[in-house]
Amino acid sequence: MKELAYAIIDKYHDEFLELADTLFKTPELGYKEVKTKQIIQTFLTSHGIQIEKEYFQTGFQVTIANADKPHIGLIAELDAIPTIGHPCSNPLDNAAHSCGHSTQVVMMIASLLALKELIDENKLTGKVTLFFCPAEEFIDIEYRKQLIENKTIYAIGGKQNMIIDHIFDDVDCCLHAHGMGEFRKYRFNVKSSLAGFIYKKYHFEGKASHAAMAPSEGINALSACNLFLQAQAMLRETFLDSDMNRVHGIITNGGDVVNSIPSDVVYEAYVRSFSTTTLMNLNDQLSNAAKHCAYAIGAKCEIEEIKGYFPFNQDIALSDVVYQNMLPFVNPLEIQTDEKSVASGDIGDLSLFKPTIQFGYTGFKGTMHGKNLEVSEPDVVYNTTSKILVGSVIDLLTDSSYLENIHSSFRPQMTIDEYIKYLES
């Protein structure tokens, strides 16, 4: 049956490449993926797949089924990220698919069309839902805060909103994939983990005065920020290697004019860790350090904090299914396992509630999130990955022991009510 599914994917090869090119050249930021949504929906309906449900501005889902169970969820992310200088960037906001999200979309659609033919012909029994998720990238914060204030969304990340709205409740497990950059040593990866993070915006408040004539009458907010950056650097020596903590940020406002003591300085940062407990403790340490460094020179520090994404721990049993479906296409030595990546994604939040995986794939040239990223091996990115995915879904739908094994080892980490309370805290 897998060979039949592979043949269906090959049949649509040229159509998929055309769709891929169109999407790559139509990058849009999260909750603004209007053209992207229209292109995808037009393609799906032309192949007899009707839109089942829409949500959160640009998110939507489609389902193919001839039974209610098993129910497999597939994840595709719609958004791009600002990338100045990328040849395919959107001139309005510099959005570009330097994150590779557009390739996920095509790969997932290719898998869905193959599964549709098998389910329509009753060669497979079950249900598959493809979720097109908006706004994975944790960016454009002020715009999204306005959407939250207008009650258009609940949270910054797309999957966060979908979780709160119980959109994933009915699925048995979720499969996702993400580009991992150029092919160097590894062609694919499985069982990798991602860090969690918290977004912080430190607003240091001092007192302006003439920088040359009356510096004694001012309180230098930039000095308060610099003092905090020193404290932050000193805290790094306390980090446990196993947690792989990261603290990184940028000064987005360093003062108004050179001739005045800076009275308002803004430092924006992420705090990351593989340990949720460590993340919370480190977050508190940094807040205390910022406030007291400001107090030390007579300034103040107000801190805005937005809970980011949870650490992502792959479902091992589900990863094993995908790993076995990689082996027909690649040497096992070219499959990376158990990587700890300090990147983050809202897939981590979904993994709190459902058995979830995200396998990595190469086939790119350039740097992820860089202005030179391009697809260099389309057959790997769009064809091989689709066959790995569709083979994995076939296994899950045809052999009940796979899902039994997955469910026996998985335990939800919290309730959705607890999750909402955390995000709002």
* Res 100 pLDDT > 90: yes
Distance CA 144, CA 138 (A): 10
- CATH pick for 199-307 out of 3.40.50.970, 3.40.50.2000, 3.30.70.360, 3.30.300.30: 3.30.70.360
Distance CA 200, CA 78 (A): 25
Helix axes 101-120, 385-398, angle to 10 degrees: 40
Residue 414 DSSP code? S
pLDDT at 340: 87
CB of 64 closer than 8 Å to CB of 49: yes
Question: Residues 218-263: pLDDT tens digits?
Answer: 999 999 999 999 999 999 999 988 889 999 999 999 998 999 999 9
Closest CA to 61 of 180, 204, 196, 162: 162
In the numeric block, the tokens 């649509």 are attached to 12
pLDDT at 115: 98
Average pLDDT, the chain: 96
Question: Residues 366-409: pLDDT tens digits?
Answer: 999 999 999 999 999 999 999 999 999 999 999 999 999 999 99
Confidence of residue 275 (pLDDT cuts 50, 70, 90): confident
Q: Give the helix/strand (H/E) hosting 397.
A: helix 385-398
pLDDT at 183: 87
Distance CA 181, CA 119 (A): 34
State mean pLDDT over 85-98. Answer: 94
Distance CA 350, CA 352 (A): 5
* Res 60 pLDDT > 90: yes
Q: Which residues contact 172 (CB under 8 A, 6 or more apart)?
A: 69, 70, 71, 72, 73, 355, 396, 403, 406, 407
What are the DSSP calls for 290-321, one per residue?
HHHHHHHTT-EEEEEEEE----B---HHHHHH
Residue ranges covered by each domain of the chain: 2-195+311-424, 199-307
State mean pLDDT over 411-421. Answer: 95
* Res 83 pLDDT > 90: yes
State mean pLDDT over 17-25. Answer: 97
Question: Residues 131-140: pLDDT tens digits?
Answer: 999 999 999 9
Helix axes 101-120, 2-11, angle to 10 degrees: 120
Q: What are the Cα distances from residue 337, in Å, to 75, 241, 320, 333?
A: 21, 19, 11, 10
Lowest average pLDDT, out of 59-68, 239-248, 313-322, goes to 239-248
Q: How many CB atoms lie within 10 A of CB 236?
A: 10
State mean pLDDT over 166-190. Answer: 95
pLDDT at 329: 97
In the numeric block, the tokens 């993070």 are attached to 197
* Res 350 pLDDT > 90: yes
- Region 2-195+311-424: CATH code: 3.40.630.10
State mean pLDDT over 316-340. Answer: 96
* Res 296 pLDDT > 90: yes
pLDDT at 276: 85
Distance CA 96, CA 407 (A): 38
Confidence of residue 31 (pLDDT cuts 50, 70, 90): very high
* Res 341 pLDDT > 90: no
Confidence of residue 342 (pLDDT cuts 50, 70, 90): confident
